[in-house]
Structure 1
Amino acid sequence: MSFYRTAAWFAKGLREYTKSGYEAASQDFIPNDLEVQVPGRTFLITGGNSGIGKATAIEIAKRGGTVHLVCRDQDRAEDAKREIIKESSNQNIFLHIVDLSDPKKIWKFAEKFKQDHKLNVLINNAGCMVNKRELTEDGLEKNFATNTLGVYILTTALLPALESEHDPRVITVSSGGMLVQKLNSSDLQSERAAFNGTMVYAQNKRQQVVLTERWASMHRAIHFSSMHPGWVDTPAVQLSMPGFHARMKGRLRSVAQGADTVLWLALSPAATMHPSGLFFQDRKPVSTHLPLARTSSSQAEEEKLTEVLEQLAQRFK
């Protein structure tokens, strides 16, 4: 089954996730969807110092939005802030240095942020793909700590701030790679099987999609969505998947193309005409499962995911 999933996914990717896939899909875009101005609205973007996150921040800033960047590295964050201000002529760009693999620091940041700022849109963009099993200081597997537990804590901690504002949205940048994974709630920190960083990342991205669906059902005042940006030529892809990057380099999407659907979900009135909780690709909701791949999960498995995450989140609060 794993061979079938991978083969079907790669064939789909060659058709849809590449630069040519974006160009074909964009023929159906409505140009006016992103002709919006958002002064007075506040956006928080994790991993906003490079790649898709920075491209998203620049475009939001150009439209007058207040942008909060959550980054791990101070120097890279400062460089990104200067570039965003230069590109957008918008001074309302703020930095927060947070290690999103550290639950205690996320809680501390979120509580202070709620006291000091309002929030209209949260964009969970930061990601981690460590190819050898690595534990954080808290004993958490690093990919899981960043991609799943970190997203869970940051989002749930900021829900009250979002619910108090007009047209609140949460966008989580997932990956089409999750299509090759069935939710595995019994081994969230990859302790039982041989460690494969790419597959662990894909499992984390499946977890993000499940969380998005569950949040949408529980928090009706907020519009939740997850999305796949396609195969994008970013520093993260080059670093974490050098072989894939080398083979596919000429066919990868630009950062702007990868950021397009993030922007559309964050800015366009058309995005919230779709039900909350869906998974998007090139401005359209798409299936979260490949045909015949048997990747659907039961309600019990999904409940177990959130129960374990909540227990871990409370432990570090």
Structure 2
Amino acid sequence: MITGANSGIGKATATEIAKRGGTLHLVCRNKERAEEAKREITETGNQNVFLHILDMSNPKGIWEFAEKFKTEHKLNVLINNAGCMVNKRELTEDGLEKNFATNTLGTYILTTALLPLLEKDDDPRVIIVSSGGMLVQKLDVSDLQSENVTFDGTMVYAQNKRQQVVLTEQWAKVHKNIHFSAMHPGWADTPAVRSAMPEFYEKMKDKLRTEAQGADTVVWLAVSPAAAKQTSGLFFQDRQPVSTHLLLARTSSSPEEEEKLIEALEELSQKFKPT
């Protein structure tokens, strides 16, 4: 299962896994673009490609999707790739800040809801497509929805990506039968980079990776026997585990702060869980 699979790293990952014969569940928000992506992916000759239309900023919708999916399918790899970076503070219909709702809460709900299904598999894996941008951020659980700061979409996105890395590490400690990893795809030329970071794109466009190059480590983490032998909970770049902190950056968080993140997400997620 790949979220955000209709473009960029997600679609490149899906295409490569399709070439290798995998059954794919594409989770996308936009039906039209999702159908176009599916058409392109099935050109690999693999027809085992299934579409699921879901907005990852809608927590109730994610719960409902996951509960239904568990009754109909099996799952051995979950790739949390969907991402959001809006540069002005925007609230969802549920009153949640949109970046946080998509990147952190949405990832948390989908993953926790599908853990029981993943546990049934022989070689289950969960991969989060994070970002090297998180290296500038220390985990901050005091203001998860950016209510008390001057809003900066790039920094909020980076904070969400730090939260994803912490979640990966925490899940790996608890769910020993599942292999968890987070990764940085490198800076790739994707629609998301072009639209969310236009100045960065203009400056760096000649040096950016292709989508396929950005997806390489995701595919490796999803299907390679060598990847499964790596310690669970690590952060990868170019198929290698790398540090989650820059030297002298003071971005490490305490176990208490990390526990607070989990508690806050669990409490929020339960508010939206259908009874």
Question: Does residue 53 in structure 1 map to residue 10 in structure 2?
Answer: yes
Runs of 4+ in 1 over 6 A off after TM superposition: none
Aligned position for 1:175? 131
Quote the Cα distance in structure 2 between the aligned partners of 1:130 and 1:307.
26
TM-score, normalised on structure 1?
A: 0.86
Aligned position for 2:200? 244
TM-score, normalised on structure 2?
A: 0.99
Aligned position for 2:117? 161
| Matched position secondary structure for 2:225 | coil
Deviations 1:101-153 (A, max 9, x none): 00000000000000000000000001000000000000000000000000000
Aligned position for 1:33? none
Aligned position for 2:41? 84
| Matched position secondary structure for 1:247 | helix
Give runs of aligned pairs for residues 64-83 of structure 1, distance below 5 A.
64-83=21-40
Give the letter aligned to residue 122 of structure 2: H
Give runs of aligned pairs for residues 1-317 of structure 1, distance below 5 A.
44-86=1-43, 88-317=44-273
For residue 200 of structure 1, report the CA deviation from its aligned partner: 0.2
- Decide which structure has greater helix share: 1
Give the letter aligned to residue 139 of structure 2: L
| Matched position secondary structure for 2:209 | coil
Give the letter aligned to residue 233 of structure 1: D
Deviations 1:33-73 (A, max 9, x none): xxxxxxxxxxx000000011001001111111000000000
For residue 234 of structure 1, report the CA deviation from its aligned partner: 0.2
Quote the Cα distance in structure 2 between the aligned partners of 1:59 and 1:180.
31
| Matched position secondary structure for 2:15 | helix
For residue 273 of structure 1, report the CA deviation from its aligned partner: 1.1
Could you list the runs of 5+ residues in structure 2 that have no partner in the other structure? none
| Matched position secondary structure for 2:90 | coil
| Matched position secondary structure for 1:70 | strand
CA RMSD of aligned residues (A): 0.4
| Matched position secondary structure for 1:250 | coil
Deviations 1:54-99 (A, max 9, x none): 010011111110000000000000000000001x101100000000
Give the letter aligned to residue 205 of structure 2: K
For residue 179 of structure 1, report the CA deviation from its aligned partner: 0.2
Rg larger in 1 or in 2?
1
Give percent identity, aligned residues only. 76
Give the letter aligned to residue 18 of structure 2: A
For residue 164 of structure 1, report the CA deviation from its aligned partner: 0.3
Quote the Cα distance in structure 1 between the aligned partners of 2:20 and 2:101.
33
Quote the Cα distance in structure 1 between the aligned partners of 2:15 and 2:216.
12
| Matched position secondary structure for 1:245 | helix
